């Protein structure tokens, strides 16, 4: 957003999120009105605007206060890490406490507020201020009875500030029917920001809205904000355009067989993974393993825990062979454990933003997000989670959310409050109760952009870690646990029997073949001997014939005459 050239000059506030909403900051050289009810953070916002102006943008500023004195304010903002004393010494910030005590004041006749102008002008000139905060100028209405003069003078004051090119922030108390109690918005027409805090179900959520910003486009929604350890933080909808990059790099989940199910390499970097399941299905363990894997790759991981304390997680995960302590010590892992009821959902998300921004992890695990959405109305939950996932995607952070299904059975897929549509990968864990025991199964319900297994696997946790094993799927049944083991043993035995049967059959066959072969051999021998006999008989006959012929010839010869036809017949 900051790359677009601004339509008019902006004075960046340096406040997370606010510059994004306003497209670069407050209108430079013009007054901005910040209003809200008591205690909603007007002074803090104004002060941070000034401090960041001084420290980040080299613009000195004057803080003119009408309610709090300088010492109190300095003490108050020290908790945000702002050292006003030091900035005052460096002549970057000047605090001026205007004290008005109504009881000491009497009015008679005409007057003006030139004293205030001189005072402010002197303060501005003495440090070359570019920014001015008036907090809250409405105190003057209580101090000065003649409102007609005051209004005229305030109008003159804002014009005077504008003429001097000062970027001013004026705070004002929220009115009943008007934006501010004394209608300051009449005079400050360039930019109006409303801060609001609402309490719903005993949880307070602070919100910010830019009501008006002349001459520039601005976000019009209500944005949750937080006054945290590093000051103000506004949570904008960061990606209305869904323009985050899509990485093709993969991040292993830490469970090899799970990676196998996800196209063999794990999930995409910067994608979001939802692990849902009912109580005790092993969601947290998958989360811990994911974190553990990231840390062992040398990447930073951030774990938001909403059920267990940091120490408890470390202890419990050790029981399944995941040791997170070294990573904590090395600073690769941060665990933020808090009760979800500590803040509203939005506040939590702002905190998560803050933590992610400062720690810059590669992997974020939130366990479980369903706790954050506890008893929340659905329409609130989805947009806020959308903001978070979009933010994390833009930062190319791979995220794993776990989610508890309170129900079970057929509505399992529906019970994810529409969150699942935001997720790229959805793993479903289920308890399978059968045969007197409870086992865990896991399957990939969806995984965008990758071939993934459609198989149900059994999820096994032991003191050596977590792993997946194939379930027994056959005979129209899915078996897990001991039933699976029993079935497998049973199958192995049956297999053995079958094998032996085969062997026996083969042996039998071989025997039979041998017998037949022997028979063939015998027949052949018989045939051969028969053939030999026939040949012998033929040869004998031929010999006899030959002998007879010779005999008759010899007889004829002996008889000495030509052989008569009779002689032959006699032979």
Could you list the residues that contact another protein (CB under 8 A)? Answer: 96, 98-100, 104-116, 118-119, 121-123, 140, 144
Residue 350's H or E segment, with its range, is helix 345-359
Which residue number, 144 or 227, has a Cβ lying nearer to another protein?
Answer: 144
Nearest approach, Cβ of residue 49 and another protein (Å): 22
Task: Tell the smallest beta-carbon distance from residue 337 to another protein (Å).
Answer: 49
CB 481 within 8 A of CB 461: no
E strands, 218-316, in order: 223-228, 231-234, 250-251, 267-268, 272-277, 301-305
Would you say 84 or 429 has its CB closer to another protein? 84
Of the candidates 222, 307, 308, 380, the residue annotated as catalytic is 307
Q: Give 449-466 as a DSSP string.
A: TS------EEEEEETTEE
Among residues 318, 348, 319, 321, the alpha carbon closest in space to that of 336 is found at 348
Tokens standing for residue 502: 């085969």
Based on CB atoms, which residue is closest to another protein, 15 or 95? Answer: 95
Beta strand ranges found along 267-355 (DSSP E):
267-268, 272-277, 301-305, 333-337
Q: How far is the CB of 124 from another protein (least distance, A)?
A: 11
DSSP state at residue 40 = S
- Spatial neighbors of 168 by CB under 8 A, at least 6 apart, are 30, 31, 32, 131, 132, 133, 134, 158, 161
Beta bridge partners of 168: 31, 132
Work out how close the CB of 48 gets to another protein at its nearest, in angstroms, rounded to a whole number: 24
In the complex, the smallest distance separating the C-beta of residue 161 from another protein, rounded to whole angstroms, is 16
Nearer to another protein by Cβ, of 106 and 375: the residue is 106
Burial 159-187 (b: 16+ CB within 10 A, else e): eebbebebbbbbbbbbbeeebbebebbeb
Strand partners, 479: 472
Q: Please confirm, yes or no, whether 67 is among the known catalytic residues.
A: yes
Q: Residue 96 or 196: which CB sits closer to another protein?
A: 96
- For residues 93 and 267, which CB has a smaller minimum distance to another protein in the complex? 93
| Cβ contact 152:110 at 8 Å | no
Cα–Cα dist 85/95, whole Å: 10
Pairing state between β 425-434 and 272-277? parallel
By the 8 A CB rule, do 426 and 447 touch?
Answer: yes
Check 67, 186, 222, 308 and give the catalytic one: 67
In the complex, what is the shortest distance from the CB of residue 160 to another protein, in angstroms, rounded to a whole number?
Answer: 14
Are 262 and 450 in contact by the 8 Å Cβ rule? The answer is yes
Residue 260: active-site member: no
Q: Verify cis geometry, omega within 30 degrees of 0, for the bond prior to 95.
A: no
* Cβ-contact 463, 317 below 8 angstroms: no
Taking the complex as a whole, how short is the minimal distance between the CB of residue 115 and another protein, in angstroms?
4
Q: What's the distance, Cα to Cα, between the start and end of the chain in Å? A: 138
Question: Cβ closer to another protein: 115 or 215?
Answer: 115
Q: Distance (Å, rounded) from C-alpha 183 to C-alpha 404? A: 49
Element (H, E) at 197: strand 191-200
The residue count of the chain comes to: 571
The nearest distance, CB 150 to another protein, in angstroms, is: 9
How many CB atoms sit inside 10 A of residue 307's CB?
15
272-277 vs 398-404, strand pairing mode: parallel
State which residue, 99 or 498, has the beta carbon closest to another protein.
Answer: 99
In this complex, which beta carbon is closest to another protein, that of residue 116 or of residue 422?
116
Residue 477: beta bridge partners? 474
Annotated catalytic residues are 67, 307
């Amino acid at each position: 957003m900051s790359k677009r050239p601004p339509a008019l000059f902006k004075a960046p506030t340096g406040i997370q999120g606010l510059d994004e909403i306003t497209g670069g900051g407050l209108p430079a050289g013009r007054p901005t009105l910040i209003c809200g009810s008591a205690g909603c953070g007007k002074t803090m916002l104004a002060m941070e605007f000034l401090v960041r102006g001084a420290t980040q943008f080299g613009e000195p500023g004057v803080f003119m206060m009408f309610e709090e004195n300088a010492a109190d304010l300095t003490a108050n903002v020290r908790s945000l890490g702002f050292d006003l004393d030091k900035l005052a010494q460096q002549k970057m910030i000047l605090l001026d406490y205007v004290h008005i005590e109504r009881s000491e004041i009497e009015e008679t006749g005409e007057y003006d507020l030139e004293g205030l102008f001189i005072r402010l002008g002197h303060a501005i000139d003495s440090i070359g201020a570019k920014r001015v905060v008036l907090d809250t100028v409405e105190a003057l209405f209580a101090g000065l009875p003649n409102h007609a003069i005051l209004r005229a003078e305030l109008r003159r004051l804002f014009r005077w500030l504008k003429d001097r090119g000062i970027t001013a922030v004026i705070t004002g108390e929220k009115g009943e029917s008007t934006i501010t109690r004394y209608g300051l918005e009449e005079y400050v027409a360039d930019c109006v920001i409303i801060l609001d805090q609402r309490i719903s179900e005993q949880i307070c959520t602070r919100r910010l809205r830019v009501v008006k910003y002349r001459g520039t486009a601005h976000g019009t929604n209500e944005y949750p904000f937080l006054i945290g350890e590093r000051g103000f933080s506004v949570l904008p909808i960061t990606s209305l355009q869904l323009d985050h990059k899509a990485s093709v790099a993969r991040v292993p989940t830490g469970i090899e067989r799970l990676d196998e199910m996800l196209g063999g390499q794990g999930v995409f970097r910067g994608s979001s993974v939802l692990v849902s399941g009912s109580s005790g299905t092993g969601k947290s363990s998958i989360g811990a393993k994911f974190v553990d894997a990231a840390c062992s790759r040398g990447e930073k991981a951030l774990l938001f825990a909403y059920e267990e304390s940091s120490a408890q997680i470390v202890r419990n995960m050790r029981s399944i062979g995941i040791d997170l302590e070294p990573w904590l010590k090395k600073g690769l892992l941060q665990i933020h454990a808090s009760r979800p009821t500590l803040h509203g959902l939005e506040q939590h998300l702002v905190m998560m933003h803050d933590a992610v921004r400062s720690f810059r992890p590669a992997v974020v695990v939130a366990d479980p997000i369903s706790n954050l959405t506890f008893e929340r109305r659905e329409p609130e939950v989805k947009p806020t989670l959308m903001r978070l996932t979009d933010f994390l995607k833009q930062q190319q952070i791979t995220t794993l959310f776990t989610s508890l299904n309170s129900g079970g059975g057929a509505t399992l897929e529906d019970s994810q409050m529409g969150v699942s549509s935001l997720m790229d990968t959805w793993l479903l864990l289920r308890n399978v109760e059968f045969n007197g025991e409870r086992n865990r199964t896991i399957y990939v319900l969806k995984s965008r952009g990758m071939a993934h297994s459609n198989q149900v696997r059994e999820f096994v946790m032991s003191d050596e870690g977590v792993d997946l094993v194939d379930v027994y799927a056959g005979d129209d049944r899915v078996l897990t646990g001991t039933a699976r083991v029993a079935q497998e043993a049973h199958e192995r035995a049956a297999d053995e029997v079958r094998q032996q049967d085969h062997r026996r059959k083969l042996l039998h066959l071989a025997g039979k073949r041998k017998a037949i072969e022997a028979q063939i051999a015998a027949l052949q021998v018989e045939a051969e001997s028969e053939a030999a006999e026939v040949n012998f008989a033929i040869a004998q006959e031929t010999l006899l014939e030959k002998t007879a012929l010779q005999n008759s010839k010899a007889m004829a010869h002996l008889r000495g005459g030509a052989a008569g036809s009779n002689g032959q017949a006699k032979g």
